[in-house]
Structures are given as structure tokens and as C-alpha cells.
Structure 1
Amino acid sequence: MSDLSIRAATERDIEAVLAFWREAAEGTSVSDDREGVARLLARDPEALLLAEWDGHLVGTVIAGWDGWRCSLYRLAVAPSRRRQGVSRALLAAAEERFAALGGRRGDAMVLDANERAHRAWEAAGYAPQPQWSRWVKTLVS
């Protein structure tokens, strides 16, 4: 793990992040394009955290903060680096960020069908909240 580092993404990372998500993430979103990621970085330059192992991108998480809620998206780990502490390190960095900003609770968007992800989130201390359902509307097509 000493070769693992976490840092905030920059605009130079966008293409690599998009390619990484196509390989490592479960599905893509309407905002998973150059413009969407660039908007994220322009609005909150510290939100997209990258995990690098020996200089290679091996994980991501978006740790969004709107001044009230801490939201976690796009936790993804390279298949070759899963179960090696990468997601744990990314979530710890996200939680440190939230604590420094005054955040009190992290809300994660996790696909219901992604059982592997459920285990990772549970190992990090997160729990599903069955009393809440998330309703989503795509604003652009």
C-alpha cells in the first residue's frame, strides 16, 4: 500500500478518468463526458479524488459537498487492484475532506445490482437505508 497515493483530479486527468470509468465502473451516466467532468472540476476542484498506484490510475471517487450534504459517487477500482485497500483509502480521503468542510454524514449512490460494491461500502461502515428511495430525472438526453 505504500505505493498508493490519493490526489484531486485536474483537467489534465479528464480523458484518463473517462477511459478508466469505462473499464472499471458499473455502467456510465449521462454526465460521464468531458464537459460533465470539467464542470465538476470547475465548480469543486477537490471533489474528484484519484487513487494512483505507482503513478497509474487505479481508483476514483467523487466526494461532493454542497455546503449541507456530503455525497459520494463513482467509487470505482481497477479490477486488478480490487480487495487491496484502494476503495478504503479513497473513502478515508473523502471522509477527511468532508470533516474539514464541516460535513456530518456521507450519502452514497450505489447501484442496487452491484453486490460487490455493497460489500465494499459495508466494509467502510456505510449501510443501506431502505426507508429512503432515490428518485432520479435525467435533465438532458
Structure 2
Amino acid sequence: MSDLRIRAAVPDDLDAVLAFWRTAAEGTSISDDRDGVERLVARDPEALILAERDGELVGTVVAGFDGWRCHLYRLAVDPARRRQGIGSALLAAAEDRFVRLGGRRGDAMVLARNETAHHAWRAAGYAPEEHWRRWVKPLVE
């Protein structure tokens, strides 16, 4: 795994990240566009973490911290490179970031239908909290 590079995204990475999510992420959301990701990187330059191998983007995670809670989004690994430790390396980088910032607990946004991801999150030590239900409302159409 020594050839894996973990780093924060910069504005020049955003088009590649969006293209990567179309193939590696299980679905997209209303904020998965250039403007949304630009705002994320401008507001919190270390939140979007990338994994690269030989200069190629092979994984991402968004590690957002609002000063109170730690939130994980868009953990995505190139489908041809899964089960090689890339997701684990991204989660370790995200969790290290949270600890440095004073975070005490991470939560992950995981699609209910993404059973493969459920297994990966459980293997990483995360567990679903059945007593919580997310309520969402799009703020724009």
C-alpha cells in the first residue's frame, strides 16, 4: 500500500472527483455538482480527502466536521480496486482528521440499498443506529 497517496483535494481536482463519483459512488445527490463541491473545498479545504495510486484517483471520502459532530460522506473506491485497503486508508485519514479537530464520534451517510457498503462500514467498526431515522428536505429543486 506504500504507493497509495492520501491528500486533501484542491480546486483543480473537482472535475475529476465528480467524474469519479459517477462511476465509483452508488448514486448521486443534489449537491454533487461543481458548485456544491467547490463550496465544500472553499469552506473546509481538508474535508474532501482523495486517494491516488500512480497519479490516478482511486478513492474519496468527505470528512465534514461542524465543530460538534463528525460526518462521513462519499466514501467511494474505484470498483476495480476495491478490497485493496483503499477505503480503510481513507477512513483512517478521516478519523485522524476528526480526532485532531476534537471530534468524538463519526457518523456515516450510507444508502439503505447499498448492501456492499453496509458490510464495509461494519468491518470498519461502524454500526447502524436503528432508533434514528433521517428526515431530509431538499432546499433547492
Question: Distance between the aligned counterparts of 1:18 and 1:42, measured in 2?
Answer: 16
In the other structure, the counterpart of 1:30 is: 30
Question: Distance between the aligned counterparts of 1:26 and 1:66, measured in 2?
Answer: 25
Question: Distance between the aligned counterparts of 1:133 and 1:54, measured in 2?
Answer: 40
* 5+ residue gaps, structure 1: none
* TM norm structure 2: 0.99
Question: Distance between the aligned counterparts of 1:86 and 1:120, measured in 2?
Answer: 12
Residue pairs, 1:115-126, within 5 angstroms: 115-126=115-126
Give deviations 1:19-78, integer Å, cap 9, x for gaps: 000010001110111100000011100000001011110000000000000000000000
In the other structure, the counterpart of 2:107 is: 107
Question: Distance between the aligned counterparts of 1:53 and 1:116, measured in 2?
Answer: 23
In the other structure, the counterpart of 1:73 is: 73
In the other structure, the counterpart of 2:2 is: 2
Which amino acid counterpart does residue 97 of structure 2 have in structure 1? Answer: R
Which amino acid counterpart does residue 8 of structure 1 have in structure 2? Answer: A
Which amino acid counterpart does residue 119 of structure 1 have in structure 2? Answer: H
The structural deviation recorded for 1:110 is 0.3
The structural deviation recorded for 1:5 is 1.1
* TM norm structure 1: 0.99
For residue 61 of structure 1, give the secondary structure of its aligned residue in structure 2: strand
The runs of 4+ residues in structure 1 deviating greater than 6 Å are none
Question: Distance between the aligned counterparts of 1:85 and 1:22, measured in 2?
Answer: 21
In the other structure, the counterpart of 1:41 is: 41
In the other structure, the counterpart of 1:84 is: 84
Question: Distance between the aligned counterparts of 2:60 and 2:133, measured in 1?
Answer: 25
For residue 57 of structure 2, give the secondary structure of its aligned residue in structure 1: strand
Say whether 1:63 aligns with 2:67: no
